[in-house]
Structure 1
């Protein structure tokens, strides 16, 4: 077994119990993951902030889905449907790549109830002329 610092920069590690190419052709729920992959073992317990999704501002550009390092952005039927809090580490990458005004994803305290966070959402900022 190699340690993390023994891999080449940019290496891709497939966390599947099956052939990686075949697994990528399946939906996430149908894949067989290794015991130590981030899909099987949650690391969300150390998160202090979480992204909250506001459907009213989302344009379904999927930038958040593409850039999320933990595949924690949930989508179904070409619509973003939320965040997988079991696997989200709270890094905020999804918020930083969101292009909407105001952003459709914002970081809130881990203990904030999502419905309360949505009530605090900022208004659209006017463009500077």
Structure 2
């Protein structure tokens, strides 16, 4: 059977695309960054060049609620051993949804310009906002 490449708009509704080179469902037990993806998979391509702003994670404020992980449209939030461990900047487009849904005060994810280093961002982190009674 010949391998025919199709564009996304040529796929049948409900089509399944297999992005893994081998092992199929067994690969789900392997962390995504250690899986072998096909060349056509979005997992092997970077979209970081789209980004203007990036989320920076401050572990000191994070409560590991996973809101960022649940709402991230690109699966760019990295979680290991039940803790948020960082961001996959290769796939993060900088949409800011993770920072928007972060419930902590101050937020544990804040958007910074892409060229700002993590260290610079952490140094400029805002202080906790005091609640004002009305």
Q: TM-score, normalised by structure 2?
A: 0.80
Indicate the residue corresponding to 1:32 in structure 2.
Answer: 36
Q: How does 1:22-101 map to 2 (within 5 A)?
A: 22-101=26-105
Name structure 2 gaps, 5 residues minimum. Answer: none
Q: How does 1:107-122 map to 2 (within 5 A)?
A: 107-122=111-126
Q: State the 1:117 CA deviation.
A: 0.9
- Computed over aligned residues only, the root mean square deviation of the Cα atoms, in angstroms, reads 2.3
C-alpha distance in 1 between matches for 2:6 and 2:40? 14
Q: State the 1:4 CA deviation.
A: 4.0
Q: State the 1:40 CA deviation.
A: 0.3
Q: Give the structure with higher Rg (CA).
A: 2
C-alpha distance in 1 between matches for 2:93 and 2:13? 22
C-alpha distance in 1 between matches for 2:110 and 2:98? 9
SS at match of 1:99: coil
Equivalent residue pairs, number: 129
Q: State the 1:27 CA deviation.
A: 2.4
Q: TM-score, normalised by structure 1?
A: 0.82
Name structure 1 gaps, 5 residues minimum. Answer: none
